[in-house]
């Protein structure tokens, strides 16, 4: 039975894994040596790569740990950006607060219809979803009908205000 290991190659926080057959690996590594050198930014000795190889379960655990760390970093940055944005808009006169420090709305065009009281009502909703940098992520200008009982709580609360 042939034995395979993974070789982890890292550069500037990015990483990749190469599957290595220990018995036939010199040919594979020699063939892809330029790729290893490009990824690491330095000359790589095929023998060194073989010595650093790890069993699959160790590489998998390392990969999961690295991915979890990247996810946590992105979550922290995303939360910081969201909190900064909410703090910035909270003092604007055209922005109305529904839930303190969490949920705000802006009336783009004031409607002329009746106030919605019945949860079975299905108002025609037009929306524009934007990223914090202002980029439009999605938009529905023709409107969509959604029952008040099926709306997410924040949108439902905004319609009730």
Reported as a single tens digit per residue, the pLDDT across 3-43 is 555 555 555 555 555 555 555 555 555 556 666 566 656 66
> Which sequence spans correspond to the domains of the chain?
4-86, 94-159
**pTM here?**
0.48
What is the tens place of the pLDDT at every residue in 109-136? 777 777 777 767 787 777 788 888 888 8
Query: Which secondary structure element, helix H or strand E, spans residue 36, and what is its range?
Result: helix 33-40
Distance CA 94, CA 90 (A): 9
* Average pLDDT value for residue range 40-68: 65
Task: Kindly tell me if the per-residue pLDDT of 79 is higher than 80.
Answer: yes
Strand partners, 97: 104
Q: According to the model, what pLDDT value does residue 44 have?
A: 59
Is 145 in contact with 124 (CB distance < 8 Å)?
yes
> Tokens 């020699």 correspond to what residue?
30
Higher pLDDT, 99 or 72: 72
Give the position of tokens 């892809």.
32
Mean pLDDT of the chain: 72
């Amino acid at each position: 039975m042939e034995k395979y290991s993974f070789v982890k190659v890292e550069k500037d926080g990015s990483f990749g894994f190469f599957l290595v057959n220990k018995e036939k690996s010199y040919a594979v590594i020699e063939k892809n040596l330029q790729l290893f050198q490009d990824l690491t930014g330095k000359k790589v000795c095929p023998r060194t790569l073989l010595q650093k190889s790890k069993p699959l379960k160790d590489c998998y655990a390392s990969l999961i740990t690295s991915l979890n760390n990247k996810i946590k970093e992105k979550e922290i940055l995303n939360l910081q950006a969201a909190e900064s944005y909410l703090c910035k808009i909270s003092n604007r006169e055209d922005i109305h607060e529904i839930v303190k420090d969490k949920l705000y709305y802006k009336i783009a065009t004031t409607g002329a219809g009746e106030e919605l009281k019945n949860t079975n009502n299905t108002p025609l909703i037009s929306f524009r979803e934007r990223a914090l940098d202002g980029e439009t992520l999605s938009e529905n200008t023709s409107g969509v009908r959604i029952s008040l009982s099926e709306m997410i709580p924040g949108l439902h609360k905004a319609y009730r205000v």
